[in-house]
Structure 1
Amino acid sequence: MEQESKSETVRLQSAQDTPPVNGENEDYDPHKHRQLPTATNNLETLVHLLKCSLGTGILAMPQAFARAGLVIGVLATVIVGAIVTHCLHMLVRAQYDACRRVRTPLLTYPEAMKVALAAGPTSLGRLTRPAAVAVDIFLVVYQLGICCVYIVFIADNIKKVVDPHYVMSIEVHMAIILVPLIAFNLIPNLKLLAPFSALANVLTLIGLGIIVYYLVSGERTSEPLDLWGSAATFPLFFGTVLFALTAVGVVVALENNMKTPKSFGGPCGVLNVGMTIIVLLYVLVGALGYVFCASKCSDSITLDLPQGPLASSVIIMFAVAIFISYGLHCYVPVEVVWKGYLLPRLEAGGSQRITMWEYALRIALCLLTFILAVAVPRLGLFISLFGALCLSALGVCFPAVMEACLAYGRREKARLLLLKDAFLVIVGLIGLVAGTYTALLAIVRSFG
């Protein structure tokens, strides 16, 4: 799931380097110690969660269904959605337990991982720092992957609109949007990006409504539908669904900013209600899009819309919305790399050009995503690759490991939790290896 708020999540509020303490600290409730000048209520949080699910991921669902088959696509999307929702619950609970252990209101994902491993078996204590670095690496790679996807998406869709008038290669379109992307990426803080984000949300909602109208009322393909798919292409489906559904960062940020955070994770809480609606939307768009174009589904359903002013307006709206979202998502790796690694070293070295180095980092990361997008302009395969590679770890494996470590020592619960968490780690690792291998193989073959 792509989410503008992901960019706010990785470094939402850094906790002090408080060493873990023994016991559960039952008397300390992190929720009661959070200072939230602009806290959101339950409805506002639900709206944020829903609007953050609308992006390139949902537009890629028809092609994902073409890889899994109609029946398997529906069933697997629901099953993966249930697993993802459970893992997000695990992550929120694990972060809460970690905050309680070190008696601090908020922890970032890497910091919570360190606390969790420190609470587990002694043999894992030495892995606290490497594990936190691994979380940072996966977060950076994933967010940069989203930015690569966005560059390819914008270029593909602009090309579809421009081609009837003047044909240019996809690489030329990427080069044209590079300078505006760099300029937008130099905006230094999220508050300045907020008005642009609001515009992106409006454009996305309008565009998605028009797409559903086309899928329902347009002429469907006469090609027979594949109901069961193929085992060879299912890993690509798995990676796409993970990319679309998994909101690792946004969930943590939304829960951290709620007036009533205990309402977030209940049986009828914000997360369950929001994820239920999101999964239903993805099933709807995926199934309708696959029925509309069958095996000929493009990487984005916008590329399958018939020629015409209305379809072109939809494509332009999504291109503008995704362009705006690029700056939000690139903000995350900038924050992680800058504040976590470069800035401390520059300050320790007495550098007098701190601002120049920060802007240089922003430009460098933007150029890196541009180079990767030009090298591999395969939108659908990019989505599958980064979904399988990063979100299998961030959204499934790491939360399971954190929960198991934090439950270590609770003899009455540890066995059941360990079995369940071990199963989830295995599922995540299989998805990571199989999805990444299949996507990389498909990328290589696409150049053949």
Structure 2
Amino acid sequence: MTSLPHSSSSQRSIPLNSGRGESSSGSGLLGRSFHSRDYMSTSPAAGEDEREGSGSQLVTPVIDDSEVEGEGGRYLSHTSLESFGKRRARSAASVLQGKDGELEEADDEDWFDLPNPNRRKEHLTSDLQTFIHLLKGNVGTGLLAMPLAVKNAGYILGPIGLLVLGIIATHCMLLLVKCSQRLSRRHNVDSLNYAEVMKFAILERTSHPILGTIGLYGVNIFLTLTQFGFCAIYFVFIGDSLSRVAQGAFDFELSTKAGIAIILPLVIVCCWIRELEGLTMFSLVANICILFSLVVILYEMVYQLSVGEGDEEAAIRRKSLTAFNLKSLPLYFGSAVYAFEGIGMVLPLENKMEKPHHFKKIVVLGMVVIVATYIVFGLLGYLVYGDGICPSITLNLQSPARVAANTIFTIVVLYYAYAIFASYMLQFYVPMDFLEIPFFRLIRAESYIDRLFYSHPRLHTPVKWILRTVFRTVIVSITAGLAVVIPDLDGLITLIGAVASAALAFIFPPLLQLLTFWEAKPPLLHLPHIGISLPWAFTVAKCIAIFTLGVLGSVTGTVFSIISIVQFFEEKPHCPA
């Protein structure tokens, strides 16, 4: 590896491993890879700084050096690293050079196609793996709650609202990726997570670092609330499912809390997996289970619509449905926004892609499938079960007169419980992506832990694994505890959707677009071949409209959700202490 000027500064040095992972030419490369985040990145030196034939690599910190450690390797101070920061920036900027060598501003749509020279090269996922993760991250308990959401809005207003919200959610996902790609190139880093995108976007418009830090922590708080809320909801769903199976198949009384306690150890062990690659098989099997379950549920709903009689007569045939239900519209908003739960996974998935320029097509295709599925199941579920719909439609699957059908329904409940179990691991990956950094920074504040990490290389790996495992175990246990305290599936779904999901899905993305692209001011729509071009003012108006929708829905949805949860406890004779 090309030597860098040594600094005599007293600043703490960053250890870099050398001699591990040598290239074929003999040049040293970084031998250590970081699974949860990339803290160091490498790229060829550019321009006059590149030494031909040396295979030199420049190494620069990306986000934080608190997670970087070495095993007897070389040390570089921050001052040394900063000495070539500008040269590195010129290397990344060369991607956007025009014919005359001048730096050109890429079109708004081009940010999906430009390669990022700093992107990591290890543990990448294929297009199919990414598509599977995207489907699995969105098609979860939210789909099963769609009939209840349609009930809260009406069989006409509900599907229309799902279509509109689905289009907006997809657009906001793509906005988030665009902003991330542009800012990562501008700041010369391999990738950014949601919170880092907010931080750098704010710093584009202000010179006060404290504002960027506030934005970073703000997004992290909402991400943590959302993802951990999802995880708590998954525990409630699995507990309800196990209770339903025990009662229906074995005539055994099993409470939701007992079901949560049974599944907790398995969830803890599986959440020790730290790579998306390790979760692919879980997601693939879960998608197969979901597909089978959805086919059975769809068949049952169509059956009851066509031939159901007596207790199984469809609600639409009893003419007991509502077309427009404005009274509970805030609850509908919370459930619907919760269903589009995948925005927190967008950047982790895109950052792990082998071909990130395909991500836009994958998102659009995946969201078309997801929104269509939501509308079909939400509408049919309400038409069949009417006001008797449960928070999860799987709890409505029972037919005492049909023994074979009841057996299949039990299998469906178990299959979907497994699918939600797999979703837990995928959703759990997102907050761990950024929570482990401050965790290790905190424990290293203790002098003994710091000495253990830096003075005993042989103990470093097992000690770090143990600490990370304990941390993940505690977090999983906290989400299980939340599920035990508030076992109201419907109330939790609407509350999490209104409080946190609305901010991440509808409030933050338009703000990010305005902050990131304010100077470039790209048109909202530019089709020169047919003479259509909507100026930047339309983009501003669109962002304000989406932001307003998110704020109004979040405030009203939160209030109505809290009222719903209070009513749930008032109606339950055995509330948790």
Which TM-score bucket, shorter chain as reference? Answer: 0.7 to 0.9
User: What does 1:35-184 correspond to in 2, within 5 Å?
Assistant: 35-36=120-121, 45-122=130-207, 125-164=209-248, 165-184=251-270
Give the distance between the partners of 1:312 and 1:147, measured in 2 at CA. Answer: 23
Give the distance between the partners of 1:42 and 1:170, measured in 2 at CA. Answer: 38
Cα 1:36–1:208 shift into 2, 3 Å: farther
Per-residue CA deviation, residues 14-36 of structure 1 (Å, 9 max, x unaligned), is 57149999999544845354344
Larger mean CA deviation between 111-120 and 159-168 belongs to 159-168
CA RMSD of aligned residues (A): 2.9
Give the distance between the partners of 2:431 and 2:521, measured in 1 at CA. Answer: 39
Q: CA deviation at 1:257?
A: 4.1
Q: CA deviation at 1:404?
A: 0.7
Q: Percent identity?
A: 30
| 8 Å Cα contact 1:146/1:329 also seen in 2 | yes
User: What does 1:389-408 correspond to in 2, within 5 Å?
Assistant: 389-408=499-518
SS of alignment partner, residue 107 of structure 1: coil
TM-score, structure 2 as length reference? 0.69
Per-residue CA deviation, residues 150-188 of structure 1 (Å, 9 max, x unaligned), is 111011111111114112332232233333333333445
Q: CA deviation at 1:108?
A: 1.5
| 8 Å Cα contact 1:225/1:291 also seen in 2 | no
**Are 1:261 and 2:364 counterparts?**
no
1:284 pairs with one of 364, 370, 376: 376
| 8 Å Cα contact 1:30/1:100 also seen in 2 | no
| 8 Å Cα contact 1:30/1:105 also seen in 2 | no
Give the distance between the partners of 2:551 and 2:215, measured in 1 at CA. Answer: 16
Unaligned runs of 5+ in 1: 1-9
Give the distance between the partners of 1:33 and 1:337, measured in 2 at CA. Answer: 23
Cα 1:14–1:56 shift into 2, 3 Å: farther
Give the distance between the partners of 1:14 and 1:44, measured in 2 at CA. Answer: 24
SS of alignment partner, residue 557 of structure 2: helix
Larger mean CA deviation between 351-360 and 51-60 belongs to 351-360
Unaligned runs of 5+ in 2: 1-34, 41-61, 65-81, 98-102, 104-113, 309-313, 400-405, 453-462, 524-535, 571-577
1:318 pairs with one of 416, 424, 441: 416
Structure 2 partner of 1:7: none
Q: Looking at CA atoms only, which structure, 1 or 2, has the larger radius of gyration?
A: 2
Give the distance between the partners of 2:550 and 2:483, measured in 1 at CA. Answer: 26
Per-residue CA deviation, residues 106-132 of structure 1 (Å, 9 max, x unaligned), is 11111111111111245x753100111
Q: Which amino acid aligns with 1:152?
A: V
Cα 1:11–1:384 shift into 2, 3 Å: farther
Structure 2 partner of 1:363: 473
**Are 1:347 and 2:347 counterparts?**
no
| 8 Å Cα contact 1:346/1:354 also seen in 2 | no
Aligned residues: 434
| 8 Å Cα contact 2:145/2:335 also seen in 1 | yes
Give the distance between the partners of 1:178 and 1:251, measured in 2 at CA. Answer: 27
Give the distance between the partners of 1:50 and 1:360, measured in 2 at CA. Answer: 30
TM-score, structure 1 as length reference? 0.87
Relative to total residues, which structure has the larger helix share, 1 or 2? 1
Larger mean CA deviation between 101-110 and 290-299 belongs to 101-110
| 8 Å Cα contact 1:70/1:225 also seen in 2 | no
| 8 Å Cα contact 2:136/2:286 also seen in 1 | no
Q: CA deviation at 1:249?
A: 3.1
Per-residue CA deviation, residues 291-337 of structure 1 (Å, 9 max, x unaligned), is 11011110111100124100001001111222233233233333422
**Are 1:438 and 2:560 counterparts?**
yes
Larger mean CA deviation between 155-164 and 189-198 belongs to 189-198
Structure 2 partner of 1:5: none
1:378 pairs with one of 459, 471, 488: 488
SS of alignment partner, residue 294 of structure 1: helix
2:345 pairs with one of 239, 250, 271: 250
Structure 1 partner of 2:285: 199
Q: Which amino acid aligns with 2:142?
A: G
Q: CA deviation at 1:254?
A: 3.7
Q: CA deviation at 1:93?
A: 1.0
Cα 1:313–1:411 shift into 2, 3 Å: closer
